[in-house]
Structure 1
């Protein structure tokens, strides 16, 4: 059985990030709606497209680049000319140079302006809030799973049935990477005397080779739920009593 602390920790982090993103998304949406409600409207013209390239490095070490084009819009209020660069870019570009666009501006400070189309105004709140909508339930699910695993482990330590299982594999779990390394696991099997079925228990992920910890032992203690032996945990620290 995997250690529930990992799921609890990751779930908590995801949940907190999700709630933060939701709050930021809502705040951005409210701020934008408030600005548009009090803003004056006019027509502007896209006078330039600025290219921005961002580079990110993924967990597998590969570098990825993405490019977006941000429009610069020019407009006139009371004979004075103003310009601003939109905070929202696109790939492909959402606008063309020379294209006319609706502009919303603060009548007390026309330099505070933005494109007043729905997507240009609300794209950032939608993206941030959408990420929050995704992160929050994922975090909640992982957190609840971690707590359930922790409760089951505590129950198994207190009330689980004990069996000495034969170690049949010690090695790395190639399906998982932690800090770019495959953790070690111990597999142990035993046969249920009541049903004759063979069960396999898998230890927690281990950072170091468990060989020295096992000290040549061929069996490990497994604690399991008699009603469902697949619910089990491996105890690597308890040695069998001398016969």
Structure 2
């Protein structure tokens, strides 16, 4: 469900410390009925497990395949356009307590790299020739009392071309990408008991959530724009 920008900016997220010069491009909410304040690590674990067994819809696969092909042809995703080259990574400015949660995780097959992983929020970062972007995931109490997942896309387009490109792809995100994510992630919550059958307590799950030694890969919306 699409949400107003204030649904992100009105929360006391730590990401605000790092992204003052980014624009909040989208905020999306995902229903997690019955969720409590300590269930964020459980949700992340279920999302990762679902990614291993649930295939992306054909329209989503086609959209991203076309994007990767175009990016390869035009050189949008070369290393010199990424983090630590075209732009300074936000991880270089992380406060010590946030930096301590990093373990070098990178979403397989993409340059989307972990920034941090806290008890109620997590963030990943990516940069290419078109944009420097952060995918933020947060855990918020909803109007009905249950907690829910919120995702915010924070962007810093690379010049006029980056702004035009982000505007061009926005309809595809609304029509294809976000609806597919909603179905997948909300189903992951419903199926969490089977997806994460040996659930640890929330603290233990959180500390291991993005460990490179686990096989549960969290694929966030790929903002390799």
TM-score (norm 1): 0.20
Larger strand fraction of residues: 1
Flag the structure with higher helix content: 2
Larger radius of gyration: 1
TM-score by length of 2: 0.21
